[in-house]
Amino acid sequence: MRKVFKIAVLSLFGLTLPAANADENAIRESMAKSMPTVKIDSVKPSVVKGFYEVIVGTNIFYVSDDGKYLLQGRLVDVAARKDLTEEKLSGTRKQAIEKIGQENMIVFKPKIGKYTVTVFTDIDCGYCRKLHSEIDQYLAQGITIQYLFFPRAGKDSDSYNKAVSVWCADDRNAALTAAKKDQKVPAKTCDNPVDEHMQLGADFDVKGTPMIVTEKGNIYPGYLPAKQLVEVLESEKKSEINQ
């Protein structure tokens, strides 16, 4: 995906639109010429005059209304001290996770749920194992943990094959817990969502595991103990109420 956009950025420099003030359809048509394989989800005028906000999956780009320039980066409201790009990105992440669906995740639920987080995990990652070893502490705080697989060694690696075997086990939750303890899980194959999980992780630009995504779509890379995570989630909920 990143390679496609690098090529697209270069090709857009030579692209012109028929009118100075291009509308949404003209932006779509012009961008389609330079990146025909990329699905554009939405094109809207940005808060910056002369630029359109283009959403592609979980990525946001800013394209000049003459179609000549494409910017990839953070748009910050200096006066309000707000990262406007991150606000939009959190929404696209939330939608992408909802699209995967809980039925395609391994979920650990508390008796009384207060919060839900999605965790990209690698079975062989040390801090992923630490997080899972404390799963009862997260559940005690009312945190539902939704696991997505992100074997860092890539497709067909040992970690990848373990993820597939865990998914194909009769009891996925028990198999994941066993695998996290470095216990052998019987090798199995079946239809599984591991590749879909990995693609979503790549779209989210996962650099390491575990990576925690909150219900609001905010990202917290790395391990957070249960008490610290619940503080983060409570703060998010309060800020949402105050908005």
What's the confidence (pLDDT) of residue 242? 59
What's the confidence (pLDDT) of residue 120? 98
Q: Which of the following is catalytic: 65, 93, 124, 128?
A: 128
Query: Could you tell me if 119 and 198 lie in one domain?
Result: yes
Q: Which of the following is catalytic: 93, 122, 124, 129?
A: 122
Identify the CATH number of the domain in which residue 47 sits.
3.10.450.70
Query: Could you tell me if 117 and 192 lie in one domain?
Result: yes
Q: What's the CA gap between 57 and 41, in Å, rounded?
A: 7
DSSP string, the chain: -HHHHHHHHHHHTT---SSSS--HHHHHHHHHHH-TTSPP-EEEE-SSTTEEEEEETTEEEEEETTSS-EE-S--EETTTTEEHHHHHHHHHHHHHHHHH-GGGSEEE--SS--EEEEEEE-TT-HHHHHHHHTHHHHHHTTEEEEEEE--TT-TTSHHHHHHHHHHHSSSHHHHHHHHHTT--------S-SHHHHHHHHHHTT--SS-EEEETTS-EEES---HHHHHHHHHHHHHHHHH-
Q: What's the CA gap between 235 and 59, in Å, rounded?
A: 26
40 phi and psi angles, rounded to 5 deg: -90, 120
* 152 belongs to a structural domain: yes
What's the confidence (pLDDT) of residue 86? 85
Query: Could you tell me if 143 and 213 lie in one domain?
Result: yes
* 91 belongs to a structural domain: no
What's the confidence (pLDDT) of residue 143? 98
- 11, 43, 71 from 21: Cα distances, Å: 20, 14, 18
What's the confidence (pLDDT) of residue 4? 45
Q: What's the number of domains the chain is made of?
A: 2
> Which domain, by its residues, includes 23?
2-76
Identify the CATH number of the domain in which residue 128 sits.
3.40.30.10
What's the confidence (pLDDT) of residue 243? 57
Query: Could you tell me if 138 and 193 lie in one domain?
Result: yes
Query: Could you tell me if 129 and 223 lie in one domain?
Result: yes
Rounded mean pLDDT for each run of 10 residues along the chain, 243 residues in total: 45 42 70 80 88 87 82 88 87 94 98 97 98 98 98 96 98 98 96 98 94 96 97 87 60
What's the confidence (pLDDT) of residue 223? 97
What's the confidence (pLDDT) of residue 173? 98
What's the confidence (pLDDT) of residue 219? 95
Query: Could you tell me if 123 and 33 lie in one domain?
Result: no
Query: Could you tell me if 175 and 134 lie in one domain?
Result: yes
**Which pTM was predicted?**
0.79
Whether 152 sits among the annotated catalytic residues: the reply is yes
Q: Which residue has tokens 């100075």?
A: 20
* 83 belongs to a structural domain: no
Q: Which of the following is catalytic: 65, 124, 129, 152?
A: 152
Query: Could you tell me if 111 and 68 lie in one domain?
Result: no
What's the confidence (pLDDT) of residue 200? 96
What's the confidence (pLDDT) of residue 183? 97
* 144 belongs to a structural domain: yes
What the block records as the tokens of 82 is 């707000």
Q: Which residue has tokens 């790549």?
A: 202
Query: Could you tell me if 221 and 143 lie in one domain?
Result: yes
What the block records as the tokens of 233 is 């989630």
Whether 128 sits among the annotated catalytic residues: the reply is yes
Query: Could you tell me if 120 and 49 lie in one domain?
Result: no
* 139 belongs to a structural domain: yes
Q: Which of the following is catalytic: 65, 93, 125, 129?
A: 125
Q: What's the CA gap between 208 and 217, in Å, rounded?
A: 17
What's the confidence (pLDDT) of residue 77? 87
* 236 belongs to a structural domain: no
